[in-house]
Every structure is written in structure tokens, then in C-alpha cells.
């Protein structure tokens, strides 16, 4: 199918959201992704997978793209693409890293960098469905300027729906910063995560080291492995 860019939103200096018009779009679930493919005049093809940022019933289809070093696809989408540009897209794809408000248990989300994208789709769906199941997002970023969706996350956390948003800044911290000031680790997860007895649904998305260590630590803290869903990204993928 063909996607056409109808709006571009700058999220951070290195991240932008593309709002797409896809006439043949069949609908999607939160947590799913798409494959984006470009074909050069000489026949060379480049394909990458990107998580969907939008909730299914929002009326929008959004991809949030981080520009990666030497990323041949992300450099275009997050830097050069303009409204009206078109590209090939396949999807939606995936049924493992998927959440819906019908699932039991509180929601615990752990994200790093642009790993926030599918987690944001979950929070947007949670808000759209007026879900009041307790939810916590633990989100690691390099600095305040690198927090994707910062203003929207603040609004969602302040709407009285039971969402808590906790930021961990790993490099630059502003004066007076009262949030977390290190990489996500076992002690932080033990302090912030819902108790295992509550049976939280856990979704972790980000760089492979963060995902693997967080999943391992949460299992060691007593959380059921079948309730922990993970998704990794890196320069060779998203």
C-alpha cells in the first residue's frame, strides 16, 4: 500500500512524527508496527520497521521516527521528507507486543529513547477508551530535550485517570531536577513497578541492553514471565 505524508510534527531535535494518509489502511492494534520500503531508480531497496504511534480509533496514522547515525531510511524520514511525499508501506504487523484495555491487571511500561513509540500508542488508547486501570510509565532519555511526547505525557499524567509518568535522565539534568538521574536498573524497577501480586501487564521497548536487563530484573523480582512483553530496536531495525 502507499502512504502519503500529510503532516510533520517535530518532537525533538532528532525525532519527528509523520502523519500519514493511507487509503487502503485496514486498521491496527496498539503495539503493532509497519514495514516501510524505498526503491531507488537502480532497483536498490531499503526496508525498515517502525512502530505505530497512534491509537486505532484516533482518525490518524502516525509514525514517530528517530534519526539514527548512518540510517539510510531514518535520515530521510526524520530529516528530508516533506508533506506530500509518498512511500511504500506494509502492515499492520505483529500480535505479540499488543495491549488492549480489556486485559486484566495494571499496566507497567518501560521505555528507552524512541522505544516510547508503541508504549505511547498504548497510553493514547488507554485515554481514548476512558480506561482507569492504574498505569505507570518509566521512561529513560538522555536529557529533557530528548523526551519524546513530553507535553502530551504531562497532560495524560495530569488527567486523573491513574497514570504515573516517571522520567530517568541519563546524561544532562536541569537545575532542580527531582526525577531519576541514572539508567534504569533493578533497584529503580523494584521501587517503581507494581507489586508482582497485582499481576501487572509489563511492556518494555528500547535498546537491546535496556530491554534485556529490565526483563531479567523484573523476572528476578517475581514478575511472571508470561506477563512481560519485550520489543527491541537498533540501527539495523527501527
* CATH number, domain with residue 80: 2.40.30.10
Please tell me the least confidently modeled range out of 49-53, 56-60, 106-110, 132-136: 56-60
The whole-chain average pLDDT of the chain stands at 92
Stretch (H or E) spanning 207: strand 201-207
Residue 102 lies in a domain: no
Domain boundary among the residues 31, 62, 93 is at 93
Domain boundary among the residues 45, 67, 93 is at 93
**Rounded CA separation 186/188 (Å):** 5
- C-alpha angle 67-71-74 in degrees, rounded to nearest 5: 45
Same domain, 35 and 80: yes
Which are the contacts of 178, defined by CB distance < 8 A and separation ≥ 6? none
Q: What is the mean pLDDT of residues 130-159?
A: 95
Same domain, 82 and 119: no
3-state SS, 29-80, equals: CCCCEEEEEEECCCCCEEEEEEEECCCCCCCCEEEEEECCCCCCCHHHHHHH
Q: Buried (b) or exposed (e) across 192-203, using 16+ Cβ within 10 A?
A: bbbeeeeebbbb
User: What pLDDT is attached to residue 17?
Assistant: 97
- State pLDDT tens for residues 162-182: 999 999 999 988 888 888 989
Which strands sit side by side in the sheet containing 15-21, from one edge to the other? Answer: 45-51, 33-39, 86-93, 2-12, 15-21, 61-66
How many distinct structural domains can be found in the chain?
A: 2
Domain holding 128, by residue range, is 107-233
pTM of the model: 0.93
User: What pLDDT is attached to residue 235?
Assistant: 44
Same domain, 135 and 213: yes
Residue 101 lies in a domain: no
Asked whether residue 221 carries a pLDDT value surpassing 80, the answer given is yes
Same domain, 119 and 15: no
- C-alpha angle 74-150-162 in degrees, rounded to nearest 5: 125
Same domain, 145 and 224: yes
Amino acid at each position: 500500500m502507499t502512504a502519503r505524508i500529510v503532516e510533520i510534527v517535530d518532537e525533538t531535535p532528532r525525532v519527528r512524527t509523520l502523519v500519514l494518509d493511507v487509503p487502503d489502511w485496514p486498521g491496527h492494534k496498539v503495539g503493532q508496527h509497519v514495514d516501510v520500503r524505498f526503491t531507488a531508480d537502480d532497483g536498490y531497496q531499503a526496508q525498515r520497521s517502525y512502530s505505530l504511534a497512534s491509537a486505532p480509533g484516533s482518525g490518524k496514522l502516525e509514525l514517530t521516527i528517530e534519526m539514527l547515525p548512518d540510517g539510510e531510511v531514518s535520515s530521510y524520514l526524520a530529516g528530508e521528507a516533506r508533506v506530500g511525499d509518498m512511500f511504500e508501506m506494509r502492515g499492520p504487523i505483529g500480535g505479540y507486543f499488543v495491549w488492549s484495555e480489556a486485559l486484566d491487571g495494571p499496566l507497567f511500561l518501560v521505555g528507552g529513547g524512541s522505544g516510547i513509540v508503541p508504549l505511547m500508542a498504548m497510553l493514547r488508547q488507554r485515554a481514548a477508551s476512558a480506561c482507569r486501570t492504574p498505569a505507570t510509565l518509566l521512561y529513560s532519555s538522555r536529557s529533557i530535550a530528548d523526551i519524546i511526547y513530553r507535553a502530551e505525557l504531562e497532560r495524560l499524567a495530569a488527567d486523573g485517570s491513574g497514570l504515573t509518568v516517571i522520567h530517568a535522565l541519563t546524561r544532562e539534568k536541569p537545575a532542580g531536577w527531582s526525577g531519576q538521574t541514572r539508567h534504569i536498573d533493578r533497584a529503580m524497577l523494584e521501587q517503581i513497578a507494581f507489586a508482582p501480586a497485582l499481576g501487572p501487564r509489563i511492556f518494555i521497548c528500547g535498546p537491546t541492553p535496556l530491554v534485556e536487563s529490565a526483563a531479567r530484573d523484573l523476572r528476578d523480582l517475581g514478575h511472571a514471565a508470561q506477563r512481560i512483553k519485550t520489543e527491541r530496536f537498533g540501527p539495523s531495525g527501527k
